[in-house]
């Protein structure tokens, strides 16, 4: 092979290598690993750890006996369960910014300790839901108990699904339980197990406080779950939840219409108010049918948001 042929071979080989290298670069550049700084950020900030328990803790100004190993373990269990249920806990934190101001105002009005707002989180996650046993609403009232505490339930209305009215009913129940047991902690336990059942267990086991009682698994966990929500919600960043103000759900600005007559068709009623049936039901979930029968001319307060305001409203 003469010198000229060798030069051509060398150039051709170089071109082939260049094209192959360029092809590989294009392929792998589309699947490149995270930027070094992002990887370092993840390694620095995302850690799975067991949080420290507080030295002292109170529920409604009643001391939690964290010196007892079983009490500490009960609280530790609930904190870890909630802390690492990321999506659910983030949603709860977002909702609390919208729901708590309403609930706090009513608790204060009825002289119920502010810590009972965390009971609402434990009961329903601050949404209207129905339990397998048939308890409904934000505060999870059974039908008979709801009626006993002044909530209306019929074919058109279920006030267990009304945040303000069900919170008032919950306050009345909690106050009755406190007057019976002389303890806010026991009042909270009674909300879960029932006043009669709690009284029976206190007498049977010959103790006078929640932390010395052996109860069913659900009620045994109940107070600790409330305490865990209190700790996490009071300082989310301590438990790894970093939410900006812009992330939080904000109270929806509505207008309230007082109605003391029957409404034969809620779809037509909504349109006359500048809204639609969907938004009427979202804001007033206690209206459970497509009409409102009101033979006794009771005054109902119905929340409305206009379609224009719906478009401009964000978190």
pLDDT at 32 > cutoff 60: no
Q: What pLDDT does residue 23 have?
A: 56
pLDDT band at 310 (very low <50, low <70, confident <90, very high): confident
Can you name the residues that pair with 157 across neighbouring β-strands? 287
Q: Round to whole Å and give the CA distance between 172 and 293.
A: 27
Backbone angles phi, psi at 249, to 5 degrees: -75, 135
Give 151's contacts (C-beta < 8 A, 6+ positions apart): 141, 158, 159, 160, 162, 165, 166, 169
Please say whether the beta carbons of 222 and 187 come within 8 A. Answer: no
pLDDT cut 90: percent of the chain above it? 78
Q: What pLDDT does residue 30 have?
A: 53
Helices (H), the chain: 3-29, 36-45, 69-83, 86-109, 117-124, 143-148, 163-181, 184-193, 195-205, 217-234, 266-272, 277-283, 307-312
Give the CA-trace dihedral at 289, 284, 229, 192, to 10 degrees.
-40
Q: Round to whole Å and give the CA distance between 275 and 268.
A: 10
Q: Round to whole Å and give the CA distance between 42 and 110.
A: 46
Q: What pLDDT does residue 82 have?
A: 96
Q: What digits encode the pLDDT tens for the residues 213-247?
A: 999 999 999 999 999 999 999 999 999 999 999 99
Mean of pLDDT values over 83-91: 95
Q: What pLDDT does residue 118 have?
A: 98
Q: What digits encode the pLDDT tens for the residues 273-283?
A: 999 999 999 99
Q: What digits encode the pLDDT tens for the residues 35-83?
A: 556 566 656 666 778 888 999 999 999 999 999 999 999 999 999 999 9
């Amino acid at each position: 092979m003469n010198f000229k042929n060798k030069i051509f071979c060398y150039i051709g080989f170089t071109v082939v290598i260049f094209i192959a290298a360029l092809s590989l670069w294009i392929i792998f550049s589309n699947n490149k690993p995270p930027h070094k700084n992002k990887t370092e950020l993840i390694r620095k900030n995302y850690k799975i750890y067991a949080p420290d328990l507080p030295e002292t803790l109170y529920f409604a100004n009643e001391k939690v006996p964290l010196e007892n190993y079983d009490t500490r373990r009960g609280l530790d269990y609930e904190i870890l369960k909630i802390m690492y249920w990321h999506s659910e806990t983030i949603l709860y934190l977002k909702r609390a910014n919208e729901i708590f101001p309403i609930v706090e105002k009513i608790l204060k009005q009825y002289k119920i300790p502010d810590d009972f707002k965390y009971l609402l989180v434990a009961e329903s996650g601050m949404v209207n839901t129905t339990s397998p046993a048939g308890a409904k609403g934000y505060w999870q009232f059974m039908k008979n108990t709801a009626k006993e505490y002044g909530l209306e339930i019929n074919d058109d209305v279920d006030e267990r699904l009304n945040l303000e009215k069900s919170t008032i009913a919950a306050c009345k129940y909690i106050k009755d339980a406190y007057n019976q047991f002389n303890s806010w902690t026991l009042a909270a336990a009674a909300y879960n197990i029932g006043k009669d059942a709690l009284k029976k267990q206190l007498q049977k086991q010959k103790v006078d406080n929640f932390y010395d009682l052996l109860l069913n698994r659900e009620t045994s966990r109940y107070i600790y779950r409330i305490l865990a929500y209190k700790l996490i919600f009071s300082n989310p960043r301590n438990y790894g939840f970093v939410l900006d103000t812009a992330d939080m759900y904000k109270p929806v600005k509505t207008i309230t219409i007082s109605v003391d007559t029957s409404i034969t068709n809620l779809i037509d009623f909504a349109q006359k108010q500048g809204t639609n049936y969907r938004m009427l039901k979202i804001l007033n979930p206690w209206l459970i049918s497509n009409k409102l029968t009101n033979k006794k001319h009771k005054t109902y307060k119905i929340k409305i948001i206009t379609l224009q305001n719906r478009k401009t409203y964000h978190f």
